[in-house]
Structure formats: C-alpha cells, structure tokens
Amino acid sequence: MRKWWVGIGIGIGLGTSLLGLLFFATFTIAGNIAGGARGAVGLAKGAVPVEYQPLIEKWGNLCPAISPPLLAAQLYTESNWNPKARSPAGALGIAQFIPETWAQYGVDANGDGNRDIWEPADAIASAATYDCALAKDVKGIPGDATNNMLAAYNAGAYRVIKAAGVPAISETQGYVRSIRDLEKSFARPVGRVAPSQQAAGAIYFAQEQLGKPYLWGGEGTAADGGRFDCSGLTKAAYASVGIELPRVANDQWNAGPHPKRDELMPGDLVFFAHNLNDPRSIHHVGLYVGGGYMINAPHTGAVNRFDKIDTPDYIGATRVTDAGAKALPRANGV
C-alpha cells in the first residue's frame, strides 16, 4: 500500500552492522521475557473501529464464557466490521445472523422499538446474547466453557453435548482454534507480549531487499522484477520463515497481539493509519528493526530503506505469530 509521508532515511551501508546488533538484541530480549503474556483483559488500543468499541466492551462481558476480545474476534471473522455484509448462505449484518436465528435471539439493544439485524448496536448485543445462550446450553460439559460455546455456535449444542466437549469435526475444531487464536490480537495484554521466534529470519529477508525500487502491488516475483510495495515486503519477509500473512496491510494488523510502543522488538510489524481510531484506515506497514526504525517499501519513486516509525500516523504494532496468521480470514466472502 502507498505511503504518503517520506521518513528520514538511514544509509543502506549501515545495514549489515545494524542488523547484526538487532539479531543479538532480539534473542537477548526474548530470553529475558520468555513466558510472555499472562492473559489479557479488555480490548487493545485501536484493535477495533472506535464506533464499535463501547458496544463490544459492554456486551463482551455479558456472561463468563465470552469477553470483549472474543466477541471482537467473532465479529471480525464474520463480517470484517461490515454492517451491511451479506453471505451466500443468507447471513446478514455485522454479526452475520441467519434470519431464523435472529428471530429467536435478536434484541433491541438501542431501545428504538425495532430489532434491526442491520443495526450494529442491536446485532452486536444479539451476538453476545446468542453466545451466552449457547454457553448455558452446554454448561456442565467437560472442557473449556468458551471452547464448548464456540463449538456449539459452529456445530450445534446437541453435538457438543453428545461428544462431551468439542466434537471431532475438523471444521468445528478449526473454528474454535481460529477464534481463540484471533482473540489474542484484540486483547489488551497484561504483562509483556511473548517474543517472536521467527523475527530474525524475517528481518534478514527484509534486509536483503534494501535499495530495491518500490513497486505498487509488487510481491517480489520475477514479473515484478523482485520489487515490493509495503505489505508485499512484510508478507514476503514472514513467508520466508514459514508464516503466511494476508496481502493487504490492514489485514495483517490482526496477525498477533499488539505490543505497546515501549515494548517493541525487532520483527514486529508497525502500522500507519489515516484515522488512529480505526484500523480499517491503515495505509502502510513496515518491519521494526529497533532503535525507532523500520525497514519498509515507502512509496513510488523511493527504494526499500530504513525510516523512523514515530510519525503522526503511527497507529501501533503487531507481534506476528503463526497461529495468529493462520486464524485470519483470508477473503471477505460475505
């Protein structure tokens, strides 16, 4: 994606010595904070569009089986925050309710006298209400209560009860795993975020691309002449260590938890947005290398280079995990 601001470059000749120190720092820090986060409460700053944050924080605490990050993960997976989404299966709105299910569980949360499947205030409250109803249906079943609730959401409460837990259905098991992994990318960490074990390899790949001209839409293929745009570069960097990220920068935002600015480590993805309250407005991404700098493909007419990250449009960072990347919805087929 295009980056409109021009940061302060660092000479490419510094690359080898700088990256050598960064690799050492990456693994030193990783050793010091191994063990990572000790759980999370609430939503990470900027994790969801600001207009939905109060609704998710309110209704995400409706019952013990759900949380705001879990509810956010479900909504993002179902509709990517699109309140007008329609699926080929007939699911509607931001929470993707089938009309028959809506007729039973839809609520008038905003008090306007109308249970409106297209109104996010009603639909988000109804999604939480439905989750909690399912949690009640499978209460007492062995295993994790939230996992059982998610399995009931996907396969039906009867199958969870019959299996005495998450049933041995690959689609259901994958759904539960994906939502639980994606939940972490919406959660506000308590304590430090666990370090990435693949960070050094991703940085090494990006370092090798320094000096190459930017190409809008570039993915580094032979047809592209080995050139990248910003998200093409970060995607390829993590692909080099076996992690498949989505193609577009704002889709890469949810590929893992979000460390604070003073907790950044080499290998974190750093993001820039037009609206700091809305991750959908992310327009640029780079690969953090330490010291306040990133490697990035800046814009047409520039080359891949080091730039400072501390600019007015910096929205935050993501520490990429393999599980987080795999949990991301690939195409918005809604």
Summarize pLDDT for 234-289 with one digit per residue, the tens. 999 999 999 999 999 999 999 999 999 999 999 999 999 999 989 999 999 999 99
What is residue 305's three-state secondary structure?
strand
Determine the pLDDT at residue 330.
Answer: 64
CATH 3.90.1720.10 maps onto the chain at 12-34+194-327
Hey, which CATH number is domain 12-34+194-327, 3.40.50.2300, 3.90.1720.10, 3.40.190.10, 3.40.720.10? 3.90.1720.10
What is residue 128's three-state secondary structure?
helix
Token pair, residue 25, equals 């720092």
pTM above 0.85, yes or no: no
Determine the pLDDT at residue 91.
Answer: 94
Q: Fill in the amino acid letter for 111.
A: G
Contact partners, residue 11, CB within 8 Å, separation at least 6: none
DSSP class of residue 44 equals P
Cβ(39)–Cβ(192) below 8 Å:
no
CATH 1.10.530.10 maps onto the chain at 40-189
Q: Extract the residue ranges of the chain whose pLDDT is less than 50.
A: 1-40, 332-334
Fold (topology level) of 40-189: Lysozyme (1.10.530)
Determine the pLDDT at residue 331.
Answer: 55
Determine the pLDDT at residue 41.
Answer: 62
